[in-house]
Amino acid sequence: MSEDTAAGESDGAGTTSGVPLLALQGVRREFGGRGRTTTALDGVDIAVHEGRSVGIVGESGAGKSTLLRLMLGLDTPTSGQVTYRGQTLDRRDRARLKRFRREVQVVFQDPRSSLDPRMTVAQIVAEPLQSLRIGADQRERSARVDEVLGWVGLDADARRKYPAQFSGGQRQRIAIARALAPSPKVLVGDEPVSALDVSVRQQIMELLARLRAELGLTLVLVSHDVAIVGQLCEETVVLRGGRVEEAGETRQVLTRPASPYTRALLDAVPTLG
Ligand SMILES: Nc1ncnc2c1ncn2[C@@H]1O[C@H](COP(=O)(O)OP(=O)(O)OP(=O)(O)O)[C@@H](O)[C@H]1O
C-alpha cells in the first residue's frame, strides 16, 4: 500500500481506520526545570484521520498553543511522539520535513500580525511557493496566486495591494489563500475567526467549511470557542489542564457529553447550552 492510501480512510460509518495522517501519542511537554516544572501537556493521544475535521477546545492554559506548536513541528515533546503519515517528525530528515511543511499549513488568529505589512498580497501568497520551491517559474506561481485568491473570493486587483488596504475579514482571506497556495493536505486553524468582528466571523467559517469540502482538506481547528468547533468539526477533543478530558464525534461530545467539565463548558455557550 502506498503512503497516500495508508493514511486513514473513512469506512463511511463516521469512524476511521488505518494510519492517522497526523497523530500525537502519549505526548508530554514540560517547561522549565530545577523544581519549577510546568507540565503543559500530559499523556495526550490525538489521531487526525485524512479528510476529517477535528476541533481541539479548551480554556485558557489548557495547553492548546503548546499542542499546536507540536502539531506543526515547531516544538518537540518531552516524551511521546508526534507522527505524520505514521512516521515521527524528524528535523534531520530534510525530504520528509519538506513534504510535511508543504502538506500542513496554518492560518493564525490575527492576520494583522501574521501578514507582513510591507509585502503585496501577490508576494504574501507566493511566499510559501517560493520558499518550498513549488512551481516551475514565476509565471506558474503567479497563476497559482490568482487561482487561490479566486477561491477565497478576492479578485485580481487585490494582488498589488497591501494588507492595510483590506478589512479584517479580507485579511484573513489573504492568510487562507497563502495557506492553500502549496496545495496542503491539512489546514490547521489557530483560532482563525476569533480576532474578527462577529459580522464577518460567520462568512469566514462558511468559507473554511466550503474550501474543506471542495478541496478534501483535513482540518484541525484549535479554539477556546466550543460553538466554532461545533459548527466546523466532525470530531471534538476537549483539553483540560494538559490532558484530554473527552474526545469523540462532535454530535456526541456536544449533545451528550460524558464529562461534567464538558457540560459546564457547553453551558457557558448560550447557543449550545
Ligand atoms: N514556554 C513556556 N514556558 C513555561 N511555561 C509555559 C510555556 N508555554 C506554555 N507554558 C505553560 O503551559 C500551560 C499551557 O499553556 P498553553 O499556552 O499551551 O495554553 P493555552 O490553552 O494555549 O492557553 P491560552 O488560550 O491562554 O493561550 C500553561 O500553564 C502555560 O503557562
Tens digit of pLDDT per residue, the chain (273 long)? 344 444 444 444 444 568 999 999 999 999 997 778 999 999 999 999 999 999 999 999 999 999 999 999 999 999 999 999 999 988 788 888 999 999 999 999 988 888 999 999 999 999 999 999 998 888 999 999 999 999 999 998 999 999 999 999 999 999 999 999 999 999 999 999 999 998 899 999 999 999 999 999 999 999 999 999 999 999 999 999 999 999 999 999 999 999 999 999 998 876 654
- Centre of ligand 1 to C-alpha 186, Å, is 24
- Closest residue CA from atom 7 of ligand 1: 31
Residue 113 has what pLDDT? 85
Residue 33 has what pLDDT? 79
Look at the domain 40-268 and name its fold.
Rossmann fold (3.40.50)
DSSP string, 135-202: SSSHHHHHHHHHHHHHHTT--GGGGGS-GGGS-HHHHHHHHHHHHHTT--SEEEEESTTTTS-HHHHH
Residue 78 CB less than 6 A away from ligand 1: no
Residue 260 CB less than 6 A away from ligand 1: no
Give CA–CA dist 183/58, Å, rounded: 29
Q: Which of 28, 44, 64, 239 to mutate to test the pocket of ligand 1 (most atoms within 8 A of CB)?
A: 64
- Closest residue CA from atom 16 of ligand 1: 63
Contact partners, residue 219, CB within 8 Å, separation at least 6? 52, 53, 54, 186, 187, 188, 189, 208, 212, 232, 233
Residue 150 has what pLDDT? 97
Provide the grid cell at 133: 520551491
- Centre of ligand 1 to C-alpha 101, Å, is 24
Ligand 1 atom nearest the C-alpha of 63 is 18
- Closest residue CA from atom 14 of ligand 1: 63
- Closest residue CA from atom 8 of ligand 1: 66
Q: Where are the alpha helices (DSSP H) in 51-167?
A: 64-71, 94-103, 111-114, 121-131, 138-151
Ligand 1 atom nearest the C-alpha of 67 is 18
Residue 222 CB less than 6 A away from ligand 1: no
- Closest residue CA from atom 31 of ligand 1: 61
- Centre of ligand 1 to C-alpha 63, Å, is 6
**pTM of the predicted structure, to 2 decimals:** 0.90
Give CA–CA dist 196/70, Å, rounded: 25
